[in-house]
């Protein structure tokens, strides 16, 4: 006896998961969080240096919040989160469209081949020449934390 065929469910017709859109969304959210943290840190710095201005700005912000609450029926936290999510989704879509347009226009070039390796015989380099080569690489890459200067030797 054979087993009956199980019915299949239709696939949802909504938006599918997109890794690029998700990564862009969280990237934009991280940038927004960093900007908000920077603003809070700056506000604390202003409050530390000029407390009178901080009190005036704080009271102005409290007054603005109170007046806004009276005008509207109240802005729930979930509504603010939903509006923020909608704005981030629109920004993600716009950024992805711009990237796709640049790729279609040929502005973005993709290099499939690795860069050619330069063969250096380290045994023939003396300590002075090796130190200068290392210092040159550090200066090219703007590595200011390096303690190797072009005039220093490795002796």
pLDDT of 95-136, one tens digit each?
Answer: 888 888 877 776 655 556 665 666 667 677 777 877 777 777
| Residue 7: both structure tokens together | 């019915």
Nearest-angstrom CA–CA distance, 9 and 22: 26
Nearest-angstrom CA–CA distance, 25 and 23: 5
pTM given for the model: 0.40
pLDDT of 4-36, one tens digit each?
Answer: 777 777 766 666 778 888 888 899 999 999 999
Nearest-angstrom CA–CA distance, 28 and 151: 45
Nearest-angstrom CA–CA distance, 149 and 155: 13
């Amino acid at each position: 006896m054979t087993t009956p065929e199980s019915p299949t469910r239709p696939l949802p017709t909504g938006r599918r998961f997109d890794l690029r859109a998700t990564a862009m969304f969280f990237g934009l959210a991280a940038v927004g969080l960093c900007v908000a943290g920077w603003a809070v840190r700056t506000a604390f710095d202003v409050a530390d240096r000029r407390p009178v201005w901080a009190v005036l700005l704080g009271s102005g912000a409290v007054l603005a919040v109170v007046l806004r609450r009276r005008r509207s029926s109240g802005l729930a936290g979930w509504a603010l989160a939903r509006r923020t999510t909608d704005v981030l989704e629109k920004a993600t879509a716009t950024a992805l469209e711009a990237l796709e347009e640049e790729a279609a226009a040929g502005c973005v070039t993709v290099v499939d081949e690795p860069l050619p390796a330069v063969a250096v015989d380290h045994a023939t380099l003396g300590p002075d020449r090796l130190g200068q080569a290392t210092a040159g690489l550090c200066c090219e890459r703007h590595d200011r934390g390096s303690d190797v200067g072009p005039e220093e030797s490795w002796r």
